[in-house]
Structure 1
Amino acid sequence: MGRIAAVLVAFVALALAGVYAAGKGWLGERWGEGDPAPHAVPAAVVAARAAAQRAAASDVGAFDAKQIVFGDLHVHSTYSVDAFQLALPASGGDGAHPVADACDFARFCSALDFWSINDHAMSHTPRTWAETIDSIRACNAVASDAASPDTVAYLGWEWTQMGSTAANHYGHKNVVLRDLDDEHVPARPIAARPPSAAKELQSENASPSPFALGLLPLVSRDASLLDFATLMNDLIDVPACPRDVPVRDLPSDCREDAETPRELFDKLDDWGFASIVIPHGTTWGTYTPLGSSWDKQLNSTQHDPQRQTLIEVFSGHGNSEEFRPFEEISRGDDGSVRCPGPQAGYLPSCRQAGEIVRSRCAAEGESEGECDARAAKARQDYVDADVQGWLAVPATKAEDWLDSGQCRDCFQPAFNYRPKSSLQYMLALRSFDPRGPERFRFGVMASSDNHSARPGTGYKEIERAAFTESRFATFRDSMLGGRDGRAPEARSIAVDLPKLMKEQRMSFFALRETERGASFFLNGGLIAAHSAGRDRDSIWQAMERREVYGTSGPRILLWFDLLNAPGARGRALPMGGEVAMSEAPIFRVRAVGSFEQKPGCPEFTGELLDENRIERLCRGECYNPSDVRRPISRIEVVRIRPQIAPGEPIAPLIEDPWQVFPCDGAPEGCAAHFSDPDFGASGRDAVYYARAIEAPSPAVNAGGLRCERDATGACVRIHPCVGVDAADDCLAETEERAWSSPIYVDHAASTAPR
């Protein structure tokens, strides 16, 4: 017996040692950067694209020597932890998508002129940062003609800040670098350090015990989880950089971070390299606290008008353009929070929490008074838990929440919309503190926020499961996710997140309302730049001038100019410009629709890429334009007149649309001229931007929650795009569009702060 016991003990010890070794990452492999295909797009193809654009510009009367180049400045590879998790077979993924995939996708699948890599800085190690630099350099090296490359790849990262409350929330920002040589690239990316109140819940890089990690591959029978354990241990092994040390004096192998935008800007200033900081997902309520507002960032501390010059208005996570005057939460002067009352055209999620509890309570036969009291408590428990308020009601389904928290009349809005973080709200703000910038003067762009190394996925409305992040909803059912396993109750609870995470084994992503949110993931947008050339410096200069615009995916051509700028000597001032004048401004806007797409890929793609590569990466479908352009149905102009007094209400300052110009749908495009005769007498600054709207066409998830509405317009039932067949793209009609950067017209006689 003693010998048998010894054998058993030895066997158990060996098994535990194996599990421990797996959990420490010793048995897994590291996913590398890959190798880009060695071929560039043929020069004749690039030239033909440019010629087609010149012809379209000529037809609509745009004879500017600049060309419009299209790109994507928001792309994640599987170096990002969330992208890595989505790529695992356990999550329904198809394996690694390295930086080299992004290069090949931009070059051959989406045919982009430029793009950047923006993996989460907190997901980088010294190894992956070095490999990212090498891969971006290799991608650019394929284009042998640096003066006119087929595609330009920029280096960057994402600063992924998430506050625990509206007061300490600043949001996500992409950092894009101009240069690639060793002398002009930071030694490490700069991550976002969570506020102290949020550290426990945002430790995305924190790992379970080695034994828990080591058991995952055994339980799931998925060997790729060995690689996940390796990744997690690599991240844990990177120490935090010491604070208050100049960036060049920091160790080379530490993780650098910044808690606020000011710290980020200071560190970028310390490096001194050319960079652009681009806020994104500003209205996306998946992580943005209730009632979050950009007021607190309009000051010399948290805004850098020299670096933070562009804003991402649209992505695969929805639209952040439009302001609406609804309230997600009410705050008292003493800092207390409560659920706001009923509002026309908007259902606060906290109120729906109360109605879910009320319905359950009534079903149990409780009195009306008791159910009213429980509903009131549920409303309060929801706002007290903020972004995780949906967990205050145990065991709910997506359908229980109807369309609460959503902007009902916005174009493809971000989920759980935060209107005081919208572009329009930002443009209407003014700071009356003489020490800092008085206004946000952003250029407008769009991108994809793709998490599978696929820049520019909006070229065709296909492949919801592969091209969007909708699988975050089903990720909760994987070994790495976690689901609320509580039984339904006819009452709410005060949410204790650390306790809930421990008891229900819920991961970081399981705390997010991902099931309803899956219906808001889109194929994403593009940035377009009016550039003097195709080279890296010319495109960068266009972005610095803010002579850029965004589209919801299609390659719409758009020009927006001020024709009578003082001192311009007859030259038009293009989008992104700013001027001071007293007379009525006169504008011109011109737009040409995007090309209808042919199925499949161009012939040259099959000659340069392996068939299996085209299928896995492009899903067999590439940017493949026909000669037919989609009609432009109308041009809309928005006018915003920024505040002239502290506390001036925002809603009346935003006129959307201010002017509408119907178009006849001609393939040559559409043009409009207009002026603002009220400008001179108003004495107020004004901001103008244009939208070019295409005729309706189907798009992935364009129907959102697909509400059934009653006669009053209230949503009575939803059909979310979750739990459906992966081949179902949940297509719905939408009006694709382009947004120009604003032209900022200051009134020369205005007494408002400058």
Structure 2
Amino acid sequence: MVGPRARRAALTASRGIRMIKKLALGLLALTAVTAGGVWVLGLGPFGSHWESAPATPGPRLMPVAPNVAAANMSQADTVDPVLAAASSAEILFGDFHVHTNWSIDAAMFGLPMMTDSEVVTPADACDFARYCSALDFWSINDHAEGMTPRSWQDSVDAIRDCNAQSGDPQNPDMVSFVGWEWSQGANQAEGHYGHKNVIFREWEPGVTPLRPISSQKIHTIAKMMPAPALGAMSINSAFFRYQDFASYVRESVTVPTCPAGVSAADLPADCREVAATPDVLYRKLDELGYDAVVIPHGLAWGRTNPRDADFANQMPQHNARYQTLIETFSGHGNSEVFADFERRIANPDGSYECAEATADFIPCCQRAGELIRQRCEDPLAAECEQRTADARRFAAEVLDDRSRGVVAGASLEDWGNCGQLLNSFLPAWYYVNRQSTQYALALGDFSQPGAPQRARFGIMASSDGHKARPGTGYKQFDRTIMTDTKEVGKSGASPALGLFGLGGNDAEASSVLPLPVADKSFLSGIGRRNRMGSFYYTGGLIAVHSAARDRDSIWEGVAKKQVYGTSGERILLWFDLLNGENGEAPMGSEVSMADNPRFRVRALGAFVQKPGCPADSVQALGAERVASLCRGECYHPGDQRKPITRIEVVRIRPQQSAGEAIAPLIEDSWKTFPCPADGTGCTVEFSDDDFAAAQRETVYYVRAIAQAQPTINGDNYRCEYNGAGECVKIKFCSGEAASREEDCLAPAEPRAWSSPVFIEYKG
């Protein structure tokens, strides 16, 4: 029984809570009023710093011996034996995934209350790629959904100016490509196609699209930014930064939609062209008639993909002409491997049960049950077992991995590493396994008569950075600028954005979910806190085997899929079929043969980096800009190379019939070869003695693994283990556990992924 005194105390507390709520609502109303002024001011012009200034004059001083093979390198036969035996093609490094302030999400998360990042334009990206990361090529890929005629023209002009600073067009210091990101998404697996970068071969007037092609009429963030949100953000000393942002959001939402039924080649420049599905995007690219490549990316990242997303759903719309490459690694993590796990199991009546844990994955519904069991006075009692089972079923029903927390009072750390891919190199956050590269390579599309259609992707990597810094993986430093992290210290999360579900770690929401459970007092609503801060990395690189440094040579290598990806290190990698019908065939080749294939792999580690920046970068940019743009550290190679420790071979035998189980078709690692530890590189040869007998199409690719080094978020969980080897305490790299000065370094093994060699059985 509850006595009168206790009831009066509870009533007083309740009144106090209601008063606090009223004060909070009053503050929100005041914020909304403030927002009106900001919104009106936002109708004015941008501050001049939002539009690109001319790029810093180039070209940069190129090294005497760049990343080329023996025929083009002085003393290569004595310095690098692996290079001495390799082909004469150059290996060039680039970044095909770069965002600037013209992406609305980049502009929003670059506001002072988020990361204290400066305004970053396409011209800034050009300068960074040329003088900080010293790339050979790159492309701009701002989100088409938020771009306006003005921002698109500014981007195109900046790319043209960047190329104009590159010196001799036949031997430029850097090639800059123009493009955009087509960013589609759905809440359910059906109808979800994900994000794809569109990149064009040419940038000159008359052969460049007049507008990007969007997946929707208005960017999702622009839809979610009402005046109160803009007003709340404006309570900050950097008022005009927010005015500029409000102005761009307003300009973006007022761009009219292009008329339907008109060829993309005939549409005006002042409208937003929309292609809601990939097949419409490809049709519009056909209408434009320009050379283009479309690259799906971020496929296993749980932030932008439904947990049950399946690449099989988009196979009927796969276009082998445009969609030739897949981005396997970026600053948002590694999407390579297919781990065979389930989050929950559907029952015939539409309800769900919790799936079992595997060595690589612990469903969060399993963890919910364990947390409830820990609170029981007698863990072996029947009542405790019932509560545990109810909690698992409850968590399986709601399945909201993005906002984890269905146990009242459970902290972020209490949930541990559930819902994440374990035992993997720098994995994507809340890994979506049926969107992985290996899964896509193993699929067959049986929707049409005849032989199954395949997605024969070349493998590449890039940064997906939103701070106009292409190629950030050259050194592991300055996590808050060189990665896309937003969960930085307690002051790093925006309370205003938290109100709309966009902010950082410290916005907690709580409500009882209306599902029948044995004891709701143990269960609460979904917390807004997340662990994404532990899953942002410096970006990857795309490498291309190119006959020369010019645009056409680079594009030819891309078109032939003679590319590979790295996790940011400039590892040199060759992977060749030795006994094809027409002789040797490099990575990316599609071959038909009956004999057992024989392969050769060559790999050489990246150069050890010297501190600081080369003198020519400082001379070109000036010391102040080197400090602000490059953060005082540039790509600055020494003479020694890092060791390659091993070569791993992956073999995939794609589906031959609909419904054939995927997991047994993927052999990772099929073969592993150790490499010398002296830094002189690695050369291995091997054959598949089962191919002729199996008589089925087979896909092969390799990984070159380098010696472990301190890496940002190299350990996502920073676990403390008990005597049984169980992770009992986690310190995520986010919120109060990660200040702006904390880089969250831990050992991880840099690597390179080759494009596959695709072999059909002949006969």
Residue 423 (1) aligns with residue 437 (2): yes
1:298 to 302, 315, 321: 315
Which residue matches 2:413? 399
Which residue matches 1:730? 744
TM-score normalized by the length of structure 1: 0.87
1:236-635 to structure 2, matched below 5 A, reads: 236-299=253-316, 302-331=317-346, 337-356=352-371, 368=384, 371-372=387-388, 374-383=390-399, 386=400, 388=402, 390=404, 397-435=411-449, 438-472=453-487, 476-482=493-499, 492=513, 515-566=530-581, 568=582, 570=583, 572-635=584-647
Structure 1 letter corresponding to 2:174: T
1:145 to 168, 174, 177: 168
Residues 71 and 112, structure 1, Cα contact 8 Å, conserved in 2: yes
Partners of 1:124 and 1:642 in 2: how far apart?
Answer: 39
Cα offsets for 1:524-580 (capped at 9, x unmatched): 1100000011011110110000000000111000000001100x2x4x200000101
Give the Å deviation of 1:219. Answer: 6.5
- Residues 394 and 184 from structure 1, CA distance in 2 versus in 1: closer, same or farther, beyond 3 angstroms? farther
SS state at 1:205 partner: helix
SS state at 1:432 partner: coil
- Residues 361 and 444 from structure 1, CA distance in 2 versus in 1: closer, same or farther, beyond 3 angstroms? same
- Residues 688 and 207 from structure 1, CA distance in 2 versus in 1: closer, same or farther, beyond 3 angstroms? closer
Residues 302 and 402, structure 2, Cα contact 8 Å, conserved in 1: no
Give the Å deviation of 1:378. Answer: 2.7
Residues 86 and 472, structure 1, Cα contact 8 Å, conserved in 2: no
Cα offsets for 1:374-430 (capped at 9, x unmatched): 5145314422xx454526567764213210111111111111111111111111112
| Percent of pairs with identical residues | 45
SS state at 1:135 partner: helix
Residues 56 and 592, structure 1, Cα contact 8 Å, conserved in 2: no
How many residues align? The count is 707
1:59 to 75, 81, 94: 81
Residues 207 and 236, structure 1, Cα contact 8 Å, conserved in 2: no
Residues 552 and 737, structure 1, Cα contact 8 Å, conserved in 2: yes
Which residue matches 2:223? 206
Residue 109 (1) aligns with residue 132 (2): yes
* Structure 2 spans left out of the alignment, 5+ residues: 1-30, 517-524
Structure 1 letter corresponding to 2:63: V
Residue 34 (1) aligns with residue 56 (2): no
Residues 115 and 480, structure 2, Cα contact 8 Å, conserved in 1: no
Partners of 2:101 and 2:369 in 1: how far apart?
Answer: 40
SS state at 1:312 partner: strand
Residues 279 and 311, structure 1, Cα contact 8 Å, conserved in 2: yes
SS state at 1:298 partner: helix
Partners of 1:582 and 1:51 in 2: how far apart?
Answer: 32
Residues 56 and 127, structure 2, Cα contact 8 Å, conserved in 1: no
Partners of 2:496 and 2:416 in 1: how far apart?
Answer: 28
Give the Å deviation of 1:172. Answer: 1.0
Cα offsets for 1:687-731 (capped at 9, x unmatched): 111111111111111101222344555432211011222111111
Cα offsets for 1:327-347 (capped at 9, x unmatched): 123345777654323434421
Residue 91 (1) aligns with residue 91 (2): no
Structure 1 letter corresponding to 2:258: C
Cα offsets for 1:200-236 (capped at 9, x unmatched): xx73112544466346424777442222211211111
Partners of 2:393 and 2:589 in 1: how far apart?
Answer: 51
- Residues 337 and 182 from structure 1, CA distance in 2 versus in 1: closer, same or farther, beyond 3 angstroms? farther
Residue 742 (1) aligns with residue 756 (2): yes
Partners of 1:307 and 1:334 in 2: how far apart?
Answer: 42
Give the Å deviation of 1:609. Answer: 1.1
Residues 395 and 486, structure 1, Cα contact 8 Å, conserved in 2: no
- Residues 372 and 391 from structure 1, CA distance in 2 versus in 1: closer, same or farther, beyond 3 angstroms? closer
Give the Å deviation of 1:288. Answer: 1.3
Give the Å deviation of 1:683. Answer: 0.8
Structure 1 letter corresponding to 2:428: A
Partners of 1:521 and 1:513 in 2: how far apart?
Answer: 18
Partners of 2:414 and 2:239 in 1: how far apart?
Answer: 34
- Residues 349 and 168 from structure 1, CA distance in 2 versus in 1: closer, same or farther, beyond 3 angstroms? farther
Structure 1 letter corresponding to 2:104: V
SS state at 1:101 partner: helix
Structure 2 letter corresponding to 1:298: M
Partners of 2:66 and 2:586 in 1: how far apart?
Answer: 26
Give the Å deviation of 1:473. Answer: 6.0
TM-score normalized by the length of structure 2: 0.86
* Structure 1 spans left out of the alignment, 5+ residues: 1-14, 496-503, 505-510, 750-754
Which residue matches 1:170? 193
Give the Å deviation of 1:164. Answer: 0.4
Which residue matches 1:231? 248
- Residues 203 and 94 from structure 1, CA distance in 2 versus in 1: closer, same or farther, beyond 3 angstroms? closer
Residues 297 and 328, structure 2, Cα contact 8 Å, conserved in 1: yes
1:634-713 to structure 2, matched below 5 A, reads: 634-710=646-722, 713=725
Give the Å deviation of 1:434. Answer: 3.6
Residues 548 and 741, structure 1, Cα contact 8 Å, conserved in 2: yes
Give the Å deviation of 1:297. Answer: 1.8
Partners of 1:324 and 1:459 in 2: how far apart?
Answer: 29
Residues 86 and 93, structure 1, Cα contact 8 Å, conserved in 2: no
Residues 36 and 104, structure 1, Cα contact 8 Å, conserved in 2: no
Q: Which moved more, 1:340-349 or 1:629-638?
A: 340-349
Partners of 1:451 and 1:442 in 2: how far apart?
Answer: 25
Structure 2 letter corresponding to 1:133: V
Which residue matches 1:4? none
Residues 488 and 739, structure 2, Cα contact 8 Å, conserved in 1: no
Residue 160 (1) aligns with residue 183 (2): yes
Residue 130 (1) aligns with residue 153 (2): yes
Structure 1 letter corresponding to 2:272: R
Residues 345 and 353, structure 2, Cα contact 8 Å, conserved in 1: yes
Q: Which moved more, 1:552-561 or 1:232-241?
A: 232-241
Structure 1 letter corresponding to 2:743: D
Give the Å deviation of 1:85. Answer: 1.4
Q: Which moved more, 1:653-662 or 1:447-456?
A: 653-662
Partners of 2:303 and 2:134 in 1: how far apart?
Answer: 31
Partners of 1:702 and 1:626 in 2: how far apart?
Answer: 24
- Residues 581 and 142 from structure 1, CA distance in 2 versus in 1: closer, same or farther, beyond 3 angstroms? same
Partners of 2:124 and 2:322 in 1: how far apart?
Answer: 29
SS state at 2:58 partner: coil
Which residue matches 2:25? none
Residues 50 and 101, structure 2, Cα contact 8 Å, conserved in 1: no
Q: Which moved more, 1:308-317 or 1:326-335?
A: 326-335
Name the Cα RMSD after superposition: 3.0
Which residue matches 2:208? 185
Give the Å deviation of 1:160. Answer: 1.1
Partners of 1:108 and 1:671 in 2: how far apart?
Answer: 33
